[in-house]
């Protein structure tokens, strides 16, 4: 039996197609508006570092396994904060004169952000021989504001020995050349920029302000 389309059938199909295209257009417009709102600073739009952190482990931005990143970060901070003035001098820090009280060991608070490891791709902390990281340390002095605290910062090289052996890239003239000498080529660009996760510095500042009261 032949099927014959009447004028009524044609109009109904046209109206159905029109309603479908209208629905699709409305959905697309809503999507574009939502994306645009987030890009121009909607309250739920995260910063780049926050987005990276929200996607998983902070180490994801550097391709470091979460367990390795967490373990190395904790060990770096513990080593830096427990160091004696002589240890700090070996690290490349000069904290002479920044004492909590005459003869007392200065209280030093630190944070660290590993951005490279050897061997690359290691999935167990014990397999790491060397770590490259940003660090920031502040010497706590009672009543001294954070902005005026004695601070040490920059990239470092740490050998995963016991105890951990740390050497900081010294600032000043020839800094870029020292970075090239101490940091492998694949990590040099990362070494020459600041922390990827700004929340680390914020947390260190809060710890300092609490301790300096």
Contacts by residues 153-158 (CB-CB < 8 Å, ≥ 24 positions apart): 155/179, 155/182, 155/183, 155/191, 155/192, 156/76, 156/91, 156/92, 156/112, 156/132, 157/130, 157/131, 157/132, 157/182, 157/183, 158/76, 158/79, 158/130, 158/131, 158/132, 158/133
- Structural domain spans, the chain: 1-45, 55-211
| pLDDT (0 to 100) of residue 38 | 35
Between CA 130 and CA 136 the distance in angstroms is: 19
| pLDDT (0 to 100) of residue 147 | 97
pLDDT-flagged residues of the chain (< 70) = 1-56, 87-104
| pLDDT (0 to 100) of residue 106 | 81
Q: What is the tens place of the pLDDT at every residue in 49-108? A: 444 444 467 889 999 999 999 999 999 999 999 987 776 565 555 555 555 455 567 899
| pLDDT (0 to 100) of residue 148 | 96
| pLDDT (0 to 100) of residue 84 | 78
Q: Whole-prediction pTM value?
A: 0.70
């Amino acid at each position: 039996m032949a099927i014959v389309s009447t004028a009524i059938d044609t109009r109904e199909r046209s109206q159905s197609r029109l309603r479908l295209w209208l629905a699709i257009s409305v959905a697309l417009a809503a999507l574009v508006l939502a994306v645009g709102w987030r890009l121009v600073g909607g309250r739920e739009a995260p910063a780049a570092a926050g987005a990276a952190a929200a996607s998983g482990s902070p180490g994801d931005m550097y391709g470091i396994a979460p367990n390795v990143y967490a373990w190395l970060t904790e060990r770096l901070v513990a080593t830096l904060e427990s160091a004696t003035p002589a240890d700090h001098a070996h690290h490349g820090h000069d904290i002479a004169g920044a004492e909590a009280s005459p003869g007392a060991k200065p209280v030093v608070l630190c944070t660290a952000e590993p951005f490279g490891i050897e061997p690359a791709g290691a999935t167990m902390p014990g397999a790491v021989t060397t770590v490259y990281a940003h660090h920031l340390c502040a010497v706590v002095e009672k009543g001294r504001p954070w902005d005026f605290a004695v601070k040490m910062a920059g990239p470092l090289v740490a050998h995963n020995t016991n105890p951990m052996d740390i050497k900081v890239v010294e600032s000043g003239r020839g800094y870029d050349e020292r970075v090239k000498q101490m940091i492998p080529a694949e990590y040099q660009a990362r070494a020459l920029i600041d922390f990827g996760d700004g929340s680390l510095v914020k947390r260190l500042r809060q710890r300092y302000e609490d301790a300096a009261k």
